[in-house]
């Protein structure tokens, strides 16, 4: 079954391409390489022992989408392509609404017009904001978004929900990712942040590699066991596998009126300091870090309740934090 993977050369997309082929699907990548590297295609070929077809283009190109859907007999779409830097989204909201919202609308229009009915959307735990209770279930209320980026994920979910509710020929799942980390065990694909990483693990591995002087831990006076923030760090390969399960669940639905959303995390909360100490222990590396003031807008603590994913998606994360941090370090050392 041919599946269009938008953003398939990116961090989560590339790992998902590997898992899709492992599960017998035929992924076709659509990526404009604006935030990914073309070398990923060759790297995927090395991992898979065969090439993966790709189109180097933007998802906002309706005519191209229609052509791909027809010529490739596409039966499902996994939509990763999006801009994802929270800070940048505050400075350039329209860029985010174009890249994340216009492209989603274009894609859904092209899908429904061409009889492509299975859709998996990359959403985020950011929709929960700062929850009153943790862990968060899918019933935890969604909170007003703190950034244009976060808003694109909330509005994206609503656009999909409304489209399905309208009776359009669409079946859709939104996956609410927690914090993806790690890399493929071959160290051939992984996260490739451009410029100074905004996220914890790439900053940490670059510091351990001597590319950055010191990791600043933003805030050690929060109301948590060690004063640092709590996140649910999930190995990117586990996250990739959730997409295969999502497709399988969509394909099983025989009516079109189907939309659901799932938490994709490990179900474990880890503090920033625990993550640092785990990294040091697993990789036998000493990390240069220091405490700094809180980062504006940070959520204090969040992690997933994954009961619904276990029960309905038949998925759960299998890899440990140790494995994820060993893989992240192995990948960093190849860069
Ligand atoms: C994790 C923790 C930081 C860097 C991101 C996205 C969000 C959503 C989830 C996608 C925080 C601390 C970080 C550093 C630090 N993604 N930190 N020093 O905040 O959970 O959010 O992932 O949809 O939209 O923004 O991830 O990796 O930035 O931070 O101390 O140099 O690490 O303060 O507590 P976060 P993160």
pLDDT of residue 333: 98
262 C-beta closer than 6 A to ligand 1:
no
199 C-beta closer than 6 A to ligand 1:
yes
Residue 86 and residue 296: Cα distance in Å, rounded? 12
Q: What is the complex's ipTM, to 2 decimals?
A: 0.96
Domains for the chain: give ranges and CATH numbers. Answer: 2-181+234-265 (3.40.50.720)
* Nearest Cα residue to atom 23 of ligand 1: 124
* Distance from Cα 234 to the centre of ligand 1, integer Å: 13
Write out the H or E segment, with its range, that includes residue 263.
Answer: strand 258-264
Residue of 79, 147, 263, 298 to test ligand 1 pocket, by largest number of atoms within 8 Å of CB: 298
Q: Give the pTM.
A: 0.98
* Distance from Cα 25 to the centre of ligand 1, integer Å: 32
Residue 114 and residue 184: Cα distance in Å, rounded? 34
Peptide bond into 135 cis (omega under 30): yes
pLDDT of residue 256: 84
pLDDT digits (tens, 9 = 90+) for 253-293: 998 889 999 999 999 999 999 999 999 999 999 999 999 99
pLDDT of residue 214: 98
pLDDT of residue 255: 85
* Distance from Cα 200 to the centre of ligand 1, integer Å: 6
pLDDT digits (tens, 9 = 90+) for 26-77: 999 999 999 999 999 999 999 999 999 999 999 999 999 999 999 999 999 9
218 C-beta closer than 6 A to ligand 1:
yes
Q: Which are the catalytic amino acids?
A: 149
Residue of 81, 129, 149, 179 to test ligand 1 pocket, by largest number of atoms within 8 Å of CB: 179
- Give pLDDT < 50 ranges for the chain: none
* Nearest Cα residue to atom 28 of ligand 1: 199
pLDDT of residue 45: 98
298 C-beta closer than 6 A to ligand 1:
yes
Per-residue CA distances from 295 to 70, 202, 227, 300 (Å): 47, 17, 14, 10
216 C-beta closer than 6 A to ligand 1:
yes
Residue 37 and residue 207: Cα distance in Å, rounded? 22
Instruction: Give 180's strand partners.
Output: 234
pLDDT of residue 158: 98
What residues contact residue 122 under an 8 Å CB cut-off, 6+ apart?
7, 12, 79, 80, 82, 174, 175, 177
pLDDT of residue 248: 98
Residue tagged 């090439």 (tokens) = 51
Structural contact between residues 86 and 198, judged by C-beta atoms closer than 8 angstroms: yes
Residue 27 and residue 48: Cα distance in Å, rounded? 12
Residue 230 and residue 128: Cα distance in Å, rounded? 14
């Amino acid at each position: 079954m041919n599946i269009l993977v938008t953003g398939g050369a990116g961090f989560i997309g590339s790992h998902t391409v590997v898992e899709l082929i492992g599960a017998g699907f035929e992924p076709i990548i659509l990526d404009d390489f604006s935030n990914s590297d073309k070398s990923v295609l060759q790297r995927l070929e090395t991992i898979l022992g065969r090439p993966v077809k790709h189109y180097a283009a933007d998802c906002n190109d309706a005519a191209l989408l229609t052509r791909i859907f027809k010529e490739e007999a596409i039966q499902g779409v996994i939509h990763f392509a999006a801009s994802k830097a929270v800070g940048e989204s505050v400075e350039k909201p329209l860029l985010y609404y174009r890249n994340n919202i216009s492209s989603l609308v274009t894609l859904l229009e092209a899908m429904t017009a061409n009889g492509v009915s299975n859709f998996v959307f990359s959403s985020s735990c950011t929709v929960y904001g700062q929850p009153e209770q943790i862990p968060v279930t899918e019933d935890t209320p969604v909170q007003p978004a703190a950034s244009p980026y976060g808003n694109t994920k909330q509005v994206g979910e609503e656009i999909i929900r409304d489209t399905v509710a309208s009776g359009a020929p669409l079946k859709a799942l939104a996956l609410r990712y927690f914090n993806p980390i790690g890399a493929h065990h071959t160290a051939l694909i992984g996260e490739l942040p451009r410029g100074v990483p905004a996220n914890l693990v790439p900053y940490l591995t670059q510091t351990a590699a001597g590319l950055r002087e010191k990791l600043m831990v933003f805030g050690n006076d929060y109301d948590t066991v060690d004063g640092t923030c709590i996140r649910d760090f999930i190995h990117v390969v586990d996250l990739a596998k959730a997409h295969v399960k999502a497709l399988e669940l969509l394909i099983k639905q025989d009516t079109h009126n189907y939309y659901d959303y799932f938490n994709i995390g490990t179900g474990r909360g880890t503090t920033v300091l625990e993550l640092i100490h785990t990294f040091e222990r697993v990789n036998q590396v000493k990390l240069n870090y220091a405490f700094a003031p809180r980062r504006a807008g940070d959520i204090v603590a969040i992690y997933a309740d994954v009961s619904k994913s276990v029960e309905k998606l038949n998925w759960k994360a299998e890899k440990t934090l140790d494995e994820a941090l060993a893989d992240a370090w192995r990948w960093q050392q190849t860069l």
